[in-house]
Chains A and B, each alone.
Chain A
Amino acid sequence: MHKYETVLVFQADLDEAVLNTAVETVETLIKTNGEVTKIDRWGKRKLAYPIRKQFEGYYVYMTFDSEPSEIVNIKRTLGYNEQVLRFIILRLD
């Protein structure tokens, strides 16, 4: 198990309920083979440049423990998720 941190940028034009479920799906995705240790919602932010014609993003910061082999799966699944505009996963330790 290693410590990781991630910043997820969701589409900001979604409803609050849809956003919450979107965050939860990512949470459960990580939880399948790991543990979420911290969730920090930065909220809506203006993007420094437009992504997919979006000018705002909903930023969520998470730290979690997971196996390195699982990161590949997480990255792939996040890539298919259209609600996630951008994400970054970095190892903390």
Chain B
Amino acid sequence: MTDNKPEITQEPERTERPERAERPERPERSERPERQERGQRGDRRRFVSRPKYCQFCTDKNLKIDYKNVELMGRYINETGKIRPRRQTGACAKHQREVATAIKNARHIALIPFEGDFWAEY
């Protein structure tokens, strides 16, 4: 009986944080159904811890390809900029290759020059 006590006391700790839901950007984001269809998870990267080792050095089979929209999308931020090395964790060599690949992909309108992925234009 006494063992149950600490479990019960833990429950009230999970308090909801109402100030989060009141953020003005929140509802706007959920209004974009295309994002789920395309398998894009734009919100994800802001909360994920950054990789400690270059993704392309770890997985030799993973080719840097400007045609791979899903992969290229991971290396640009919400405003369409190329994410810096300190965020992507890529090594200098592969970061350069990623940068040129993104520029190629931008040219053929696979990824945007500026702005979020499937934002209205």
What residues make up the interface of A, taking CB atoms closer than 8 Å to B?
Answer: 7, 9, 45-51, 55, 57, 59, 61, 85-88, 90
- Which B residues are in CB contact (< 8 Å) with A49? 109, 112-113, 115, 121
Could you say which residues of chain B place their CB within 8 Å of the CB of A90? 104
Contact with A9, one of B109, B112, B118 (Cβ below 8 angstroms): B109
Q: Given the complex, which residues of A lie within 8 Å of B34, measured CB to CB?
A: 46
Residue of A nearest to B110 (CB): A48
Specify which chain B residues have a CB less than 8 angstroms from the CB of A61 in the assembled complex: 67
Q: Please classify the interface of chain A as helix (H, G, I), strand (E, B), loop, or mixed, using the class held by over half of its residues.
A: strand
Residues of chain A lying within 8 A (CB to CB) of residue B108: 7, 9, 59, 86-88
* A86, B112: Cβ atoms closer than 8 Å: no
Interface flags, B78-116, vs A, CB<8A=1, else 0: 000000000000000000000000001011111111010
A-B contact count (CB 8 A): 36
CA distance A57 to B112 in the complex (A): 14
List chain B residues, Cβ under 8 A from A7: 67, 108
Cβ-based interface call for B117 (8 A): yes
Cα distance, A31 to B49, chains bound together (Å): 50
B112 touches A88 (CB 8 A): no
Taking a contact as CB atoms closer than 8 A, the residue among B109, B113, B118, B121 that contacts A86 in the complex is: B109
> B121 to nearest A CB, angstroms?
6
Q: Are B109 and A47 in contact (CB under 8 A)?
A: yes
Residues of B within 8 A of A88 (CB): 66, 104, 107-108
**Can you list 27 A-B contacts (CB < 8 A)?**
A7-B67, A7-B108, A9-B108, A9-B109, A45-B110, A46-B118, A47-B109, A48-B106, A48-B109, A48-B110, A48-B112, A49-B109, A49-B112, A49-B113, A55-B121, A57-B109, A59-B108, A61-B67, A85-B109, A86-B107, A86-B108, A86-B109, A87-B108, A88-B66, A88-B104, A88-B107, A90-B104
Residues of the A chain whose Cβ atoms lie less than 8 Å from the Cβ of B112:
48-49
